[in-house]
Structure 1
Amino acid sequence: MGYAFEETYQSKERKGLFKIMNIAVKKSFLKGTINVPGDKSISHRAVMLGAIAKGITRVKNFLNSEDTRRTIKAFRQMGVKISVIESECSGRVDSACSDREIIIEGKGPYLKKPKGKIDAGNSGTTIRLLAGILAGQPWTSCITGDKSLCFRPMRRIILPLRKMGARIKARQDNYAPIYVRGGNLKPLSSPHKLEIASAQLKSCVLLAHLYTGKKIELIEPEKSRDHTERMLKYFGANIKVKGRHIILNPDSSLSGRVISIPGDISSAAFFIIGAIITKNSEVFIKKVGINPTRMEILSVLQKMGANVQLDNKSMEGGEPVADISIISSGLKGISIRGKSIPLIIDEIPILTVAATQARGKTVIRDAIELRIKETDRIKSMVTELKKMGADIRELRDGMVINGPTQLKGADLNSYADHRTAMALVIAGLIAESRHSAKSRPSGRGSANGKTTIHDVECINTSSPEFAKILKKLGADISIAKDDPPTLKLRRAGERRLIIAIDGPAGSGKSTVAKEIAKKSGYVYLDTGAMYRALTLKAMRKKVNLRSPKALVNLAEKTKISFKGEKVFLDNRDVSAEIRAPSVSNNTHFIATVPGVRERMKILQRKMGDRGGIVAEGRDMGTIIFPNAHRKFYLDAKIMVRAKRRYKELKEKEYSATFKKVLQDTIRRDKRDSERDIAPLRKAKDAVLIDTTNMTIKEVVQRCQVLTNDKYQD
């Protein structure tokens, strides 16, 4: 549908340092002394344990990022007072600066029931660890997240929590939103073997066991990050760790503490590798956390030949810290797999960049977990580094990289993933002009060696100071609004593409599809309008909407065509009539009939035979055009989508209340996603775009960048 977007859609900017921005970087070397932001994993846990401890917890060097702000907001919803006592940002926790101090007034283990859902945003740590605490609360709660998080698997935490007695419901029993009815938990049988080596799974189970009053012994298949165990002990829990065995005893009451959070080694890894692979670089990073379960990144780099040294070791808040000095180094390829992978899972994107500069072959295996992060990080890194000329190929569970390769400047896509974005920025530090090397990169190259990474506001998820720190080290880097070129998809001799756009009602897909079609000179294919047109005809002819045979027979005798944005039913313009609420509310009867869908599929594919179309609907990328050249999945929060629909109906003078429109939208979402025939779902290779706080222009521009990025001269 063509929506007139309300103020929320037009004018509100997303929070954070970057707002639809790109980073442009040129070949540089790095020199200087820096501090990196506080460790994200420890920042999350400090808030959680401080909230359920008794007394005051003071957290120094707290990382103020989008993810950690979600954790703060969640506990504020549950009655925990959390305040800033020292900040450059006037005491506002929701502002984007990093180095700060917070005070948490602990409530003890039992919290206040929140009003409404808890939104974890894009934070897997928030949703998975918090689920363990919610399982111990004597009330029902719901925790959800953004679209990306809602496609990440949660069964790994759901199953053990159910065994402990929590009543849990989740979408497809595996995805958020997750509804938790807690209280009266019983311990798991001890010893309990965890299915996978996951710090988040382990932490969820440990936090839930605090509410059983019983002893538990957990056994990990491989050692994973142990921040939760260390912090539980620091807060007073009776916990013992020996190798892969963790024993939590019943007398584990928690008391408030003062915590100084060390620098995040995962954030430091970008600057460490940046210094290693750029010539004549020398960087000194102060007070970085060197937890043994996080040190694997340094071990791997040292095996590759990197010159990395640790100095001034000490302990802070139960965590070891040290200063790290790095000097430019030659690297050699190695094999990275097995027990190393869980310990470096977040650093693999930047390690991939390092591997392009290593002599020989680097093989990364057993990293299938990367495919279910914020994006498929295996595919994203392989795709983007190939554009820069890297000799890299994708494996089911990892990558093979041959080096060293001289990378070339290119236009790159972040896939809205913070670690992918930062890794590509570091790759840009060693990129040369495409004319300075004998070979040219596949994809679009940069004549002056500049590398541009689009859509980098995602960096605010974990490292809002990233660009500022790089500049301090001397990197030739600039941040600008993403102002992509107009789509150029109809040049002489160039293939005519099929662009598929899917999404639920009110996500903006129709308006965006029309704009893209207009800018590119393509045909706009509104597949939803085809089902609406047939619904309108069935209602006019009083065909039984519950008779599949009658509907299939009607479809075979119906002609539907498009001229521009107009829809013609049996050669009659019905563009306005098919938007009536009565038609909208009955279209699902038509859309779920297999024979009708098969007829429509034939018509739609015939329209797409020549290419040069922008098709929007609910199964364009999954069923109708599975081989579309570019796929997008648009979504937005339910309240925003309902407001858009309500405003459109009011402007067209249809009688409607917002409550009724919201109920209809919820029902429609449920029908579309749960129907047996062609359910609404995101294609695996579709790019997810959350339009909640974006303008039409911003969404169209992002689609332009990603399409141009994939198909260049």
Structure 2
Amino acid sequence: MNICMTPHPFGGVLAVPSSKSLGHRDLICAALAEGESVVEHISPSEDIEATCRVLRHFGAQIEEISDTLPGRVSYRIQGGIRQGRNPVTVDCGESGSTLRFLIPLGLLTGRTVTYTGRGRLVSRPLQPYYAIFQSRHIAYQTADDGGLPLTVTGTLSPGAYTLPGNVSSQFFTGLLLTLPLLTGDSALYSSTTLESASYVGLTLDTMARHGVQVEEEKPGVYQIAGGQSYQPGRYEVEGDYSQAAFWLAAGCLGHDVKLTGLRRHSAQGDEVIVDIIRRMGGRITEEPDGLMASPSALKGTTIDAGDCPDLVPVLTVLATAASGTTHIVNAARVRLKECDRLHAMAEELNKLGGRITEEPDGLIIEGTGQVHGGCVQAWNDHRIAMSLAVASQIAEGPVQIDGAECVRKSYPRFWQDVAAMGGTYTEEAGSDE
């Protein structure tokens, strides 16, 4: 699907989609609890569907039920990992969270599990797990290039585990979710400075709400008591700061945008978007029922993306709209997402007249205030497509975004919400060639 955006400011009131990061974690913890749980207020997406699909293969019964909020669903879950002997193949779609969170859990099933996927997920790094498999004598087989499909046979034993902290925090989450269920105690260490530590904090916070405790001596050092169990219950998923970032940026570039459904002082690391925008001169005010972003004169700054990599695409748009130079640093891992997001944002915004220079671990953005129109690519990456939609507000002519359907991965209603917030676009089918 190709979307052609006519430059027009966004504005209005919007209920923010639920946190996809929390949705994954709440669903997994509920699926690991013996008994019935309900997880409420989840915004449907392909990634959430992938996690439910794999958890069903592992033994959880998951039923979608109605929700009290429009555009959201709840899930009734009869939890518990089920042992089995027959091999099983599970489809993780394009969800890196699903794959990396659930590989360790698959070792609790007693089955040979084959993990498949699509798109760039097939080649996203899994070496930290391979190193653990080798040291623990867990049998595994990959495709010739080391990617998916991945077949794993074996069991996970308690003990000391070490992971690199500069690849992805998702490996830490996968082990932290699983190790408390083993019979003995374990420890988990990061061999480097732990990047995206806030995402691990989100995992620990979610686990605690579901009845499982992990002692964090410091970021990257965790003591994990074995023999614990997740508790069933009713859990609500809060609004997503990763998705809110697009609308907060839009409000600074267009008309007032008010967002509801966000919890202030959240465990979500991407809440830092509020502080970053304010540091750039953006006007964001707190209201009793939400946050308001208002048109602002932005200025360049230095942004450390080590703990907020998902914000880099939309921050690149804000930096292009700002005066002066913005330097995004510590963002090398952004190259390992659904696409190489550093290259993609530089490539596409430069097509529109931006002035962006790539560095190995970041971007230098010279603010131009405006861009001209043109045709850009979404790179099969939801965050690229949504960021380019925000960029259309500062364009002098129409911006055509090819491959715009990729927003289904995390935010299927995005284009509907764009229209509801005053965005003007036409839609046409893309070519298969």
Uncovered stretches (5+) of structure 2, i.e. residues with no partner:
none
Find the partner of 2:418 among 447, 456, 470.
Answer: 470
2:113 maps to 141
Q: Percent identity?
A: 27
1:335 deviates by: 1.4
Give the 5 Å matches for 1:639-658: none
**Cα pair distance change 1:113/1:121, threshold 3 Å:** farther
**Cα pair distance change 1:85/1:394, threshold 3 Å:** same
**Cα pair distance change 1:473/1:305, threshold 3 Å:** same
Task: Give the Cα–Cα distance (whole angstroms) in 1 for the partners of residues 418 and 218 of structure 2.
Answer: 38
2:180 maps to 210
Q: Deviations over 1:239-269 (max 9, x none)?
A: 2335414332224211112111111111111
2:298 maps to 331
Larger radius of gyration: 1
2:389 maps to 425
Task: Give the Cα–Cα distance (whole angstroms) in 2 for the partners of residues 161 and 323 of structure 1.
Answer: 46
Q: Deviations over 1:520-577 (max 9, x none)?
A: xxxxxxxxxxxxxxxxxxxxxxxxxxxxxxxxxxxxxxxxxxxxxxxxxxxxxxxxxx
Q: Calculate the aligned-residue CA RMSD, in Å.
A: 2.2
**Cα pair distance change 1:111/1:362, threshold 3 Å:** farther
Q: Which has the higher contact order (CA 8 A, sep 6+)?
A: 2
**Cα pair distance change 1:184/1:389, threshold 3 Å:** closer
CA contact (8 A) 1:132 1:161 kept: no
**Cα pair distance change 1:117/1:198, threshold 3 Å:** same
Task: Give the Cα–Cα distance (whole angstroms) in 2 for the partners of residues 456 and 273 of structure 1.
Answer: 19
Uncovered stretches (5+) of structure 1, i.e. residues with no partner:
1-20, 89-96, 313-321, 433-448, 483-697, 701-713
Task: Give the Cα–Cα distance (whole angstroms) in 1 for the partners of residues 326 and 273 of structure 2.
Answer: 15
> 1:308 aligns to what SS in structure 2?
strand
CA contact (8 A) 2:216 2:222 kept: yes
Find the partner of 1:259 among 235, 250, 262.
Answer: 235
1:425 deviates by: 0.9
2:166 maps to 196
Q: Is 2:394 the partner of 1:454?
A: no
User: For residue 346 of structure 1, what is the amino acid of its counterpart?
Assistant: D
1:411 deviates by: 1.0
Task: Give the Cα–Cα distance (whole angstroms) in 2 for the partners of residues 205 and 161 of structure 1.
Answer: 13
Q: Is 2:209 the partner of 1:234?
A: yes
Q: TM-score scaled to structure 1, two decimals?
A: 0.57
1:79 maps to 59
1:560 maps to none
1:306 maps to 282
User: For residue 50 of structure 2, what is the amino acid of its counterpart?
Assistant: R
2:141 maps to 169
> 2:432 aligns to what SS in structure 1?
helix
1:66 maps to 46
CA contact (8 A) 1:154 1:176 kept: no
**Cα pair distance change 1:386/1:113, threshold 3 Å:** farther
CA contact (8 A) 2:42 2:74 kept: yes
Q: Deviations over 1:265-310 (max 9, x none)?
A: 11111111011122xx111111225325232222222211111234
Q: Is 2:261 the partner of 1:287?
A: yes
Task: Give the Cα–Cα distance (whole angstroms) in 1 for the partners of residues 271 and 181 of structure 2.
Answer: 32
**Cα pair distance change 1:217/1:302, threshold 3 Å:** farther
Number of corresponding residues = 424
Task: Give the Cα–Cα distance (whole angstroms) in 2 for the partners of residues 310 and 251 of structure 1.
Answer: 43
Give the 5 Å matches for 1:122-133: 122-133=94-105
Find the partner of 1:268 among 244, 248, 251.
Answer: 244
Give the 5 Å matches for 1:611-630: none
**Cα pair distance change 1:197/1:375, threshold 3 Å:** closer
Q: Is 2:30 the partner of 1:50?
A: yes
Q: TM-score scaled to structure 2, two decimals?
A: 0.91
Task: Give the Cα–Cα distance (whole angstroms) in 1 for the partners of residues 189 and 157 of structure 2.
Answer: 20
> 2:277 aligns to what SS in structure 1?
helix
1:396 maps to 360
2:6 maps to 26
1:41 deviates by: 1.1
User: For residue 425 of structure 1, what is the amino acid of its counterpart?
Assistant: A
CA contact (8 A) 1:237 1:251 kept: no
1:105 maps to 78
CA contact (8 A) 1:276 1:307 kept: yes
Which stretch shows the higher mean deviation, 143-152 or 162-171?
162-171
